[in-house]
Amino acid sequence: MKQISDKFPSPLKLFALTVGILLGMLIVGSVVAGGILLAGGIDPLGFGAGDLPADARQGLRLGLLLNNLLTFGGTAFIVFLVAYRRFWRPAAGLNAPANRKALPYVIATFVLAFPFIAYAAWLNLQLPLPDWMLQNEAQTNTLLKSVLTMNSVPELLMALLTVAVTPAIGEELLLRGLVQRRILHPVFKSHHFAIWIAAIVFSAMHMEFAGFVPRMLLGILLGYAYYWTNSLWVPVILHFFFNGMQVMVTYFNGQYIPDTEITDVPPWYLAVASLLVIVALGVYITRTFNPEAHPDPLLREQSAEDLSA
């Protein structure tokens, strides 16, 4: 079986490159976001919950958008460009057509998982957390309340860009495209290990421990969506849909309700049914459409170049 050319970095070198660039972009993103907040008269180290005027809220959203874009999307883009040069798009899974036959089943699996994820979120809230974690959750809720206080359509659009569009592209490019596919999978030789570990990293990097389990489950679903369809655009769109749906619900409700104040919990039997259905669908997709047989987009581009040489 033909292998990826050794002219590309090994997973270990790719990991080291990713960590180094991520640390650098964390600093750049923080400086840029902090500068925007200060220019808008917002103290980056503390501000009131939802008491900012509309212009200040827009400035806050812009700062967070650029911070996320630079930290996650910027890191992934630079690593792909440095490591794979003109092959960066196939390496990231951005030019591979999705498996259209599997796509309806993948979307159904994602949607039908919502009751199980909602119940898991409630269970997560029952776990006792140390004071420092609770304090971190309170600070996060304060930030989100300001971001998701929307009194106009322009605020809604900016909130969608900040909370849905930018995270969907940046986080999927980094976590699924780079970490899952190019770093973890070559090491473990297993898509499943790569998916689960990337999902744990995905949840941990948000530093929101009261929502760690549901966010990890979301990461697992997005990881399998990439594995089953062979296109990174599928988890990007699903991620956007999930986050965007929450923004729209908040906008039309006129009030932000923190995840730590969940009151609408599905019954346990619906959560169990949801879990059984998505597991059955996952097994069906894997056996029917055989994702292991999908050619790696990077390998396909590499082979095409070899033939034309």
| Cα 166 from Cα 244, distance rounded (Å) | 11
Q: Which two tokens stand for residue 34?
A: 């902090």
Q: Does 49 fall in a domain?
A: no
The dihedrals phi and psi of 36, each to the nearest 5 degrees, come to: -65, -40
Q: Is residue 45 assigned to a domain? A: no
Looking at the 3D structure of the chain, how many domains does it have?
1
Evaluate whether residue 1 is within a structural domain.
Answer: no
The dihedrals phi and psi of 20, each to the nearest 5 degrees, come to -60, -45
User: Is the residue at 41 inside a domain?
Assistant: no
d(CA 20, CA 18): 5
Residue entry with tokens 């809230």 = 125
Write b or e for each residue in 169-180: b if 16 or more Cβ atoms lie within 10 A of its Cβ, otherwise e. bbbbbbbbbbbb
Residue numbers of the domain that contains 241 = 88-308
Residue with tokens 């980094």: 174
Q: Tell me, yes or no, whether 8 lies in a domain.
A: no
Residue located via tokens 């689960």: 196
Look up the pTM and report it: 0.91
The answer as to whether 137 is a domain residue is yes
Query: What pLDDT, on the 0 to 100 scale, is given for residue 288?
Result: 94
Task: Note down pLDDT in tens along the chain; length 309 residues.
Answer: 445 556 788 999 999 999 999 999 999 999 998 898 888 777 665 555 447 888 888 999 999 999 999 999 999 999 999 999 999 999 999 987 888 999 999 999 999 999 999 999 999 988 888 888 888 888 888 888 889 999 999 999 999 999 999 999 999 999 999 999 999 999 999 999 999 999 999 999 888 888 899 999 999 999 999 999 999 999 999 999 999 999 999 999 988 888 777 778 899 999 999 999 999 999 999 999 988 777 777 776 665 555 444
In-domain check, residue 106: yes
Q: How far is CA 279 from CA 9, 110, 112, 194, 308, in A?
A: 35, 11, 11, 18, 43
On whether residue 273 sits in a domain, the answer given is yes
Q: CA-to-CA distance for 150 and 275, rounded, in angstroms? A: 34
